[in-house]
Amino acid sequence: MDVTGARNDSEMAQRHLSFILEHVHATLPVTRRHGEGKRVIRHNSLSYRVAGSHTNCEFNPPPCDLERTNAIQAAGYAQAVLYSIFIRAGDPKPQPGSPRFIKHRRNILIAVYAAYFVFTIYEIDFNVQRLSNAYNDLGVPIHVDESGLNSRFRRLTMRYHPDKIGPNVDKVVANNYYVHLKHARDIILDPAKRFAYDRFGPDIFAQCQSCSTIKDYADNALLNVGVTYGVLFIILIGANALGFLTDGSYWRYLGLLAVATFEVRTALRPDHPAFLSKYLNPLLASTNMRPAYLPFQIIAIARKTSISLAQFLALLMPLYRADPQNTAKPTDDSDDTRHKQLDRLSAFVQESNKEANRLLELESIPYRGNEKAKSELREALKKYMVQNVVHQEKEVRNAMGEVMMRKRAGVPHGAVGTR
């Protein structure tokens, strides 16, 4: 019994470590370059790759650095295709590095990441449905009573009992399947086991073989939740204290707290979650899209989705920064800063004057050898500047307009002439 208990404790610790490392892998950024070695954490017979090259994605769900690179490449191809579709031939396309090009690339990357996130959730749900459960194997609804279950099992016995199958069916396979159906029926008929199975899944019976009452199963589940999420919160708090994972830390804490609260609520309440029993499962039953969900299946989806969401936010947040490497700093309004700004402005004005003088010298090169022409040019420029300044005055413009109107009195509108 001690050996069996030790083995169960080891398996439970391995599951906790696996779930914790998945969260850590989803939240910690990979900083090693391509080609560097991998650091491996070993726990008993299990190995977990925590960081490594771009070609290794050890956890589900991703994405890792390889998938980030693939997403960027896919966004580049999609952007080129969209430009060829929506921009007419001959019209200028946004150049790489321009604000419009960067905005389009960011929107496409967001769409790619969102599509991958949705696909990851679909994949998680597909894997959960593929594993099935005791109710689906027996072909009964999740709210079946004892009489309905016994009636259904009698029909299954007439069909799958090893003594009633045909001669062409493998006896061993048929016997194993019938034992599986009988074990599923026994779980549903036992109130304590049914409570534990609905909320914690079939693994709870291997984790807690000494449990026999609902309280035993609930206490074991609460211990698992406390250890798992306690370690995760400690890791996140330590990372934030060291200056890591500061972006989106609020949403990480909120997601972990929401999943932990949902698991605690599921373990302590005698009924199924309200959104599951009142909304989701009735909708699935009315549409026949898929079998109804059990609480442990929703918990598995919520766990994996929280990991994917953490990775999705880690990929999404850098897209909303002008420069992820250089964060904005508050401006300094001291006297020293103002003097430096005035010095820079004065230097800019001096450079502008020098450039204007050089341009003026360049334009006056033809008059350099002729002093008479140079003096005439100087006088003409002075006269032009004076007239230009005078003509810009409001009173002068009004007077000139009135004179022109008197001269052109009686002339049809739009006529061109010198009168």
Burial of 200 (0-12, 13-18, 19+ CB in 10 A): buried
Conformational region of residue 41, where left means phi above 0, alpha means psi within -120 to 50, and beta covers everything else: beta
CA–CA dist 102, 95 (Å, integer):
9
Give 200-243 pLDDT, tens digit per residue.
999 999 888 889 999 999 999 999 999 999 999 999 999 999 98
Position 362 pLDDT exceeds 60:
yes
CA–CA dist 50, 28 (Å, integer):
9
Q: What pLDDT is attached to residue 299? A: 93
Q: Residue 165: what are its φ and ψ, rounded to 5°?
A: -90, 165
In contact, 291 and 281? CB cutoff 8 Å: no
In 3D, which of 85, 130, 129, 80 has the Cα closest to residue 101? Answer: 80
Q: Residue ranges of the domains in the chain?
A: 90-320, 338-368, 372-407
Between residues 364 and 227, which one has the greater pLDDT?
Answer: 227
In 3D, which of 192, 191, 184 has the Cα closest to residue 215? Answer: 192
Burial of 199 (0-12, 13-18, 19+ CB in 10 A): buried
Q: What pLDDT is attached to residue 215? A: 93
Predicted structure pTM score: 0.60
Position 195 pLDDT exceeds 50:
yes
Position 12 pLDDT exceeds 60:
no
Position 326 pLDDT exceeds 60:
no
In contact, 75 and 62? CB cutoff 8 Å: no
